[in-house]
Amino acid sequence: MTGHEEITARLRYGPEPTADDTGHVADVCVIGSGASGAITAWALQRAGLDVVVIEQGPFVDPWVSYDDVETVAETAWIRQDSGVWEKTGNPWSTCNVGGGTVFYGGAVFRHRPVDFDAESRLGPSDLPLRWPWAVEEIYHYYDLVESALGVAGGGHDPSLPGDPAYPMRPVETTAEGAAIRSAARSLGLQPFPTPLAIASEPYHGRLPCAGERPCISNRCDRGAKGDAVTVFLDPARKAGLRLFAGLKAVRVLRRDATSVDGVECIRVDNGNRHVFRARHVIVAGNAVQSAALLLRSTDDLSPHGLGNGHDMVGRGLCFKMSGYLHGYRRTDGATAGAGRVAGPGPFSTAAITDYYTADDAPGGFGGLIIESQPEEALRLRPDEQIIRLECLVPDTPRADNRVTLGRGVDRFGLPDIVMDYSPHPRDRARLEYLQRRAEEILRVAGCELTWRDSSYFWMGSTHLHGTCRAGTDPLTSVTDPDGRVHGLTNLMVVDGSVMPYPGGVNPTLSIQALALRMAHQLLRREFGIEPEVSPTHPVGPE
């Protein structure tokens, strides 16, 4: 048995749908159980709707690693800088119940007001950059999601109009985070604790972080991290939500000229086909998978895919450009472990946004610099320290950067996914600008040696945006501001694909805030239900 086969054999998909499951017409079928799908299903189920969730990946136990999930995930075609095409791209955050939130570091930043109208700095682009939502409206949903996740944070973020009132104090600062903050302050910058969806104290049934393992390697077995399973899916399933893992959505089925009525799926471990019927279908795969699903959903009325009458599905693909910088320094031996939570976590305790907008940066935009702890604890002498920073820069949406379907097929006979992506030269310059600023911080921190490490963002990323863009003009967008696919009354997209501009911060919080807003709009519009809009606290693990 190969390593791939051994990992596949350990994965847990749960029971296969029965005839009763597929014969029942649900109020809503949600495709995808990651950041957006989980909060959408939770909000709708909480309002009394009959909701079924379809997820391609397995359930993830704490002993299943990120590498395990990545090893068995499907790949996509990408073009290397040399121009050579390879089927090595990553069209997932991660493919599992809870999606990438199970393995993310928990960094949950609000998008800055400038992200809502990037054209004010960058000028016109291939595609409209302005978000079709008001800053104040989305910031209200940030409050709701931060309360549900249990965000730990504090301090002054110079790129926000006001500092959020986070539910918990910041997690304890690592020794590396303390060195970063000290160096940044000496440069006249205003560093602050990274806002994390990680409990720094007991929070509504969840235990505080113990720092016993890296946040990005395995699912947190304490429930300290606010992943989509712990916060939304587990409570919703206890209350009656139906979730089926191991089901790949093949295509959305049309009912008539203006509506759909279900989803055709394949069970990934045996190839069995199932059809789920629902009054509303919500696509929440991710910016790559959702676009591919719409493109596969062809029929006589939509020969090029649902919502693709103007050839917009898949266009504007953004990965967010990023890169790592490492610094090596000698210490006096007394500070190497000071202030660190026992063990290798948490992922990040220091953030710098002073360069988010900068007149001397290409296009007037820089980005975010954050502490980024390595996946493994490093064995060093008491007088040694390794500091790692990550730089994030928003890539400009381009019409030719897109998701398409290839001529080859996968093991189920479905067309391969192609991620045709090339960053704008100005964005490469912006990343270089930000990395030089990060190198300066490391030098001031006393690092004798610094080096760079690629994130390989062009191969696919945990930051996936822009392929089913939201807007009011069907010529340049796929959905309206409420997530409804243009021309279809009951098909919605609610994941990161609706974002017209990616912004320069980790996107999970914004993806969930937008999805919650869209779920609330659906409740009001189609079911006459006024959703609860006060901060909510799903019940955590016992």
> pLDDT tens, 114-129?
999 999 888 888 899 9
pLDDT at position 63 is 84
C-beta contacts of 485-490 below 8 A and 24+ residues apart: 485/294, 485/306, 485/307, 486/307, 486/309, 487/258, 487/307, 487/309, 488/258, 488/259, 488/260, 488/306, 488/307, 489/258, 489/259, 490/259, 490/260, 490/279, 490/280, 490/281, 490/526
What is the pLDDT averaged over residues 72-92? 90
Distance CA 26, CA 446 (A): 60
User: Could you tell me if residue 467 is inside a domain?
Assistant: yes
Q: Is 326 a catalytic residue?
A: no
Averaged pLDDT for residues 369-389: 87
Select the more confidently predicted residue: 538 or 287. Answer: 287
Q: Which of 182, 168, 33 is nearest to 95 (CA)?
A: 33
The greatest distance separating any two alpha carbons of the chain, rounded to the nearest whole angstrom, comes to: 72
Checking if the pLDDT of 8 tops 70, the result is no
Residue 535 located in a structural domain: no
Residue 409 placed within a domain: yes
Residue 94 has pLDDT above 70, yes or no: yes
CATH number at residue 404: 3.50.50.60
Give 80's DSSP letter: -
Whether pLDDT at 212 is above 70: yes
The pLDDT value given to residue 149: 96
**Which two structure tokens, joined as six digits, stand for 265?**
């799926």
Residue closest to 538 by CA, chosen among 59, 102, 149: 149
Per-residue pLDDT reduced to its tens digit, 454-464: 999 988 978 99
Which helix (H) or strand (E) segment holds residue 135: the answer is helix 135-149
Q: Which residue has the higher pLDDT, 2 or 517?
A: 517
Is residue 518 one of the residues assigned to a domain?
yes
Mean pLDDT over all residues of the chain?
92
CA-to-CA distance for 494 and 511, rounded, in angstroms? 8
- Residue-wise pLDDT tens digits, 263-295: 999 999 999 999 999 999 999 999 999 999 999
Tell me the whole-structure pTM to 2 decimals: 0.94
Domain-embedded: residue 539: no
Contact between residue 496 and residue 462 where contact means Cβ atoms under 8 Å apart: no
Tell me what the mean pLDDT of segment 498-511 comes to: 96
The tokens describing 272, both together, are 């069995």
Q: Is residue 541 part of a domain?
A: no
Given a cut of 70, is residue 415 above it in pLDDT? yes
Count of Cβ atoms closer than 10 Å to residue 172 Cβ? 18
Check: CB of residue 196 under 8 Å from CB of residue 167: no
Cβ atoms of 447 and 282 closer than 8 Å = no
Mean pLDDT of 143-156: 95
**371: which 2 tokens?**
């502490």
List 111, 274, 280, 463, catalytic entry: 463
Mean pLDDT of the 476-493 span: 97
What pLDDT does 80 receive? 82
Which range, 141-145, 208-212, 371-375, is most confident? 141-145
Q: Is residue 542 part of a domain?
A: no
Total domains, the chain: 1
pLDDT of residue 469: 97
Q: For 89-106, what is the mean pLDDT?
A: 94
Mean pLDDT value across residues 407-414: 93
Of all residues in the chain, the percent with pLDDT exceeding 90 is 80
Within 13 Å and on the Cβ side, how many CA atoms surround 383?
2
Q: Phi/psi of residue 441, each to 5°?
A: -60, -45
Residue 344: is its pLDDT beyond 90? no
Decide if pLDDT at 341 tops 80.
no
The pLDDT of residue 490 = 97
Instruction: Tell me how far the alpha carbon of residue 506 is from its chain's centroid.
Output: 7
Amino acid 62: pLDDT: 85
Q: How many CB atoms lie within 10 A of CB 365?
A: 25
Q: 48-57, 150-159, 206-215, 470-479 — which is least confidently predicted?
A: 206-215
* Residue 106: domain span: 3-527
- Per-residue confidence band for 156, with pLDDT thresholds at 50, 70 and 90: very high
